[in-house]
Amino acid sequence: MVLDTDAAYLALKARDARFDGRLFVGVTSTGIYCRPVCRVRTPRRENCRFFGSRAQAEAAAFRPCMKCRPEIAPGLSLMDSSRSLADSAARLIEDAVHSGQALPLPRLAARLGVTDRHLRRIFQAAHGVGPLAYLGTQRLLLAKQLLTDTDLPVTQVALASGFASLRRFNAAFAEHYRFQPSRLRRESTASVTGQTSARSEGLRLAWRPPCDVEALVGHFARRQLQGVEEVDGLVLRRTLGWPHQGQRLQGWLSVRFVPERHELRLSTSPSLVPVLGALMQRVRQTFDLDADPARIDPVMALLPLPLRPGARLPGAMDGFEAAVRIVLGQQVTVKAARTLTQRLVDRYGTPLETPFPALNRLFPDAPTLAAADPEVLGKLGIVRQRVKALQALAAAVASGAIELHRNAPLQATLDALRALPGIGDWTAQLIALRALAWPDAWPASDIGLMNALGSRDPKHLTTLAEAWRPWRAYAVMRLWHHVETLESPR
């Protein structure tokens, strides 16, 4: 839903970034729709039509602005999507488009536990368009971003955006945007001096300000693994293995925060280009770019700490990797967990050549750790109970019995994790926080929370945390940051 039109126009005039991704304006005199942060001259009030989504604007025959780029605007957070079935469906569609997967409406409806007809009805009511139209908009916007921010051939852009053929892609692009994709590539190249260097900066991904970049980057810096990760100022780089069509692609990615533009720039190795759309979505989750501070910060103000606006929930590029780190972090400090994980990487990580001297190894995947000799794992300093937990987790992930990503069913995944040996509620809650992006995760027995809140009683901490729902995971990260940077390590 959008604001009433008078309030929406005020937000547009103020270029209020808090409404970025939640409000779009179509200008009838130009036939173009923009983000509220667009820097062009503010259109006259009578020429403005306001929409709550890009799909609604495109369904009304408006084309996306070439300057403010609606395709890079932040999207829905997980908590937003969990509020309604329609928004959950929208997020599943977006992830499917970016990962290059087909998601027929019957399968989508079955996954959500409803009929096709019911899904179409509620989706239309919530988003103003049907699920198929929404799917088409997401495909075209992904294609537009790849055409603008990369040098990928048009044919490869078409396939990466989910179109079965170049002919269908050209026809859909021309129908919706009224010009050919090749023209967009030519015009974007000609419109900016030094466009090659601009494209080399990578894909642009926006967030809603404010964003506590210092705390977010600091979280990853204190946990970086040699050979796998490197944090250099506002630049984070890492190696990554990614499943694709029965293979495991291997490469690296780099993200650079640009706080003055409220953006992040993503670059990857050529080997990961076939999964670029999926990586964009995972990066959005890892750095919580879709968070809405206007909803979260008022709750964080209730913490017994000075407010740091723009709290973010650090996620994970690889859900299994995050789970392994959490298992190895049971009952030890961050430093000790990092040491154990480093030994695991040094012993089982696959060597990888990259342009960056600090990046030379992949984190071991689930099949590798599931097949590892328990005695060898024990010699790394991992106690027997955690070896059993680690290998049970690896076997479950390798077999597909457990999936660790934000679209995995929350309660079923938590139950499956707790059923594994050596994995209790603390571990399951932190895996839900990091890998499933659950914003209300609450590991009540965490020693860092106890230190920050001055209590050793998990029930008392849980009672205190009721005031921080549904954003308790953000409270966890804020309390951890306070303990790690101002007092003692967790």
CA distance 353 to 379: 28
Three-state DSSP string of the chain: CCCCHHHHHHHHHCCCHHHECCEEEEECCCCEEECCCCCCCCCCHHHEEEECCHHHHHHCCCEECCCCCHHHCCCCCHHHHHCCHHHHHHHHHHHHHHHCCCCCHHHHHHHHCCCHHHHHHHHHHHHCCCHHHHHHHHHHHHHHHHHHHCCCCHHHHHHHCCCCCHHHHHHHHHHHHCCCHHHHHHHHHHHCCCHHHHHHCCEEEECCCCCCHHHHHHHHHCCCCCECEEEECCEEEEEEEEEECCEEEEEEEEEEEEHHHCEEEEEECHHHHHHHHHHHHHHHHHCCCCCCHHHHHHHHCCCCCCCCCCCCCCCCCCHHHHHHHHHHCCCCCHHHHHHHHHHHHHHHCCECCCCCCCECECCCCHHHHHCCCHHHHHHCCCCHHHHHHHHHHHHHHHHCCCCCCCCCCHHHHHHHHHCCCCCCHHHHHHHHHHCCCCCCCCCCCCHHHHHHHCCCCHHHHHHHHHHHCCCHHHHHHHHHHHHHHHCCCC
The question of whether 34 is a catalytic residue gets the answer yes
Tokens of 151: 């040098």
**What's the pTM?**
0.89
**Amino acid at site 16:** D
Tokens of 182: 């090749």
pLDDT more than 70, % of the chain: 94
Tokens of 91: 């997020």
Bridging pattern class, strands 263-268 and 229-232: unpaired
Which of 157-166, 240-249, 380-389 bottoms out in mean pLDDT, i.e. has the lowest? Answer: 157-166
120 and 130 Cβ atoms separated by less than 8 Å: yes
All structural domains of the chain with their residue ranges: 5-71, 78-200, 205-435
The residues, any chain, with a CB within 8 Å of residue 72's CB and separated by 6 or more, are 145, 204, 205, 206, 263
CA distance 19 to 51: 12
Cα torsion 362, 367, 373, 374 to 10°: value is 100
pLDDT at 250 over 90: yes
Residue 114: band (very low, low, confident or very high) from pLDDT cuts 50, 70, 90 = confident
Residue 103 confidence (pLDDT) = 79
Instruction: Determine the average pLDDT of the residues in 198-212.
Output: 86
CA angle in degrees (0–180, nearest 5) for 407-210-95: 20
384 and 262 Cβ atoms separated by less than 8 Å: no
The question of whether 38 is a catalytic residue gets the answer no
CA 420 from centroid of its chain's CA atoms: 27
Which of 30-44, 93-107, 113-127, 177-191 bottoms out in mean pLDDT, i.e. has the lowest? Answer: 177-191
pLDDT at 195 over 60: no
Tokens of 322: 């995050």
Residue 188 confidence (pLDDT) = 62
Top-confidence residue, 266 or 97? 266
Residue 199 confidence (pLDDT) = 57
CA distance 55 to 75: 12
The catalytically annotated residue of 34, 38, 48, 211 is 34
Residue 91: band (very low, low, confident or very high) from pLDDT cuts 50, 70, 90 = confident
Q: Was domain 5-71 assigned CATH 3.40.10.10?
A: yes
Residue 79 confidence (pLDDT) = 60
Residue 2 confidence (pLDDT) = 56
Mean pLDDT, the chain, rounded, equals: 91
CATH class of the structural domain 78-200: mainly alpha
Dump pLDDT digits (tens) for 350-366.
999 999 999 999 999 99
**Amino acid at site 244:** H
The catalytically annotated residue of 87, 211, 446, 457 is 446
- CATH no. for 205-435: 1.10.340.30
48-51, strands of its sheet edge to edge: 48-51, 24-27, 32-34, 63-64
